[in-house]
């Protein structure tokens, strides 16, 4: 049996996508695509078992109903370069395999992240872990960048001096700041990549990791376009409600208007039934 390939993904292999001031994303390799998801779901090893339309419907069903194991059959490997503070957020996603450059074995390059001036903002009052949308004076933007860069220069000068004195690399590196760039190979299956993207494409995610997620989303779309479309439909742009929230929505719902809207919509009949099945029966007003 020959290896499944995706022409659109093959065209992107090894291409370097620049991110931030010195970072990048590269798709190194991939295993499988939409066809692999379909094969796994049908436990079939024959190519083209169904039409593209039927394959799309099956993948949509799998994602919609959270049948995730067929998506785990698709694997993507990335080569990534990012500031260490971004990498530390990244490593919270523990469902991947990775190998990062080691400052114990390698001399770290003199490459540090500096934000764009317009990204310098004050601390958000509402979001304790993020910046506000309020612009700061240009003088404060310049001073912030000056201080960041001065600290980076001082730290790397000390690092280089210790290396020149043949101090062990594992000790010389300890004062290097989080803005230093690191690199890693990161391999993850499609299901867990979708989880990563759901979190890191969110508007509340830190800008410096979200820009990486935006590039990786396009690479995932190239590898498995049908699965990515289902991900956008049922995960990325979907919302969930708590029990209390749902009760409030149901209390204000015009059920007859909903049924009219469904009949007039292009939504498939099976999806219409699933939507109505999510709603508990309307209260029997004759008992009131």
Report the DSSP beta bridge partners of residue 17. 25
Distances, alpha carbon 33 to alpha carbons 8, 74, 192, in Å: 11, 6, 15
List helix spans (H) across the chain. 7-10, 34-42, 52-64, 84-90, 138-164, 169-172, 190-200, 207-223, 225-231, 243-251, 255-264, 269-277
SS3 percent helix, strand, coil of the chain, rounded to 5, is: 50, 15, 35
Say if CB 216 and CB 118 are below 8 A apart: no
Give the residues across from 24 on adjacent strands. 18, 81
Beta-carbon contacts of 70 under 8 Å, excluding residues fewer than 6 positions away, are 37, 38, 40, 41, 62
CA–CA gap between residue 78 and residue 24 (Å, rounded): 10
**Is 200 known to be catalytic?**
yes
How many other β-carbons are positioned within 10 Å of the β-carbon of residue 104?
A: 11
> Of the residues 94, 200, 210, 271, which is catalytic?
200
**DSSP summary character for residue 280:** P
β-pairing verdict for 97-100 and 181-189: antiparallel
Other Cβ atoms within 10 Å of 195 Cβ, number: 16
Tell me the torsion sign for CA atoms 36, 40, 43, 49.
negative
**Residues with catalytic function:** 200
């Amino acid at each position: 049996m020959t290896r499944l390939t995706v022409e659109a993904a093959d065209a992107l292999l090894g291409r370097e996508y620049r991110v931030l001031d010195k970072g990048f994303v590269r798709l190194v390799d991939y295993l499988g695509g939409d066809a692999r998801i379909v094969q796994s779901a049908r436990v079939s090893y024959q190519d083209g078992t169904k039409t593209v339309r039927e394959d799309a419907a099956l993948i949509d069903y799998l994602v919609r109903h959270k049948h995730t194991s067929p998506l785990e059959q698709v694997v993507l490997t990335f080569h990534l370069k990012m500031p260490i503070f971004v990498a530390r957020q990244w490593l919270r996603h523990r469902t991947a395999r990775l190998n990062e450059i080691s400052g114990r074995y390698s001399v770290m390059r003199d490459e540090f992240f500096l934000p764009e001036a317009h990204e310098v903002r004050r601390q958000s009052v509402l979001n304790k872990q993020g910046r506000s949308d309020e612009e700061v004076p240009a003088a404060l933007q310049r001073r912030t960048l000056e201080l960041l860069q001065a600290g980076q220069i001082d730290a790397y000068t000390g690092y280089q001096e210790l290396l020149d004195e043949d101090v062990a690399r594992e000790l010389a590196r300890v004062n290097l700041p989080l803005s230093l760039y690191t690199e890693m190979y990161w391999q993850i299956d499609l299901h867990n990549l979708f989880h990563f993207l759901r979190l890191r494409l969110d508007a509340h995610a830190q800008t410096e990791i979200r820009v990486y997620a935006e590039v990786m989303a396009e690479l995932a779309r190239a590898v498995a376009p049908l699965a990515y479309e289902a991900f956008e439909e049922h995960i990325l742009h979907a919302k969930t409600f708590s029990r209390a929230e749902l009760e409030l929505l149901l209390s204000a719902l015009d059920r007859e208007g909903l049924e009219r809207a469904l009949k007039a919509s292009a939504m498939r009949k099976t999806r219409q039934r699933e939507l109505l099945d999510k709603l508990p029966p309307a209260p029997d007003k004759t008992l009131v």
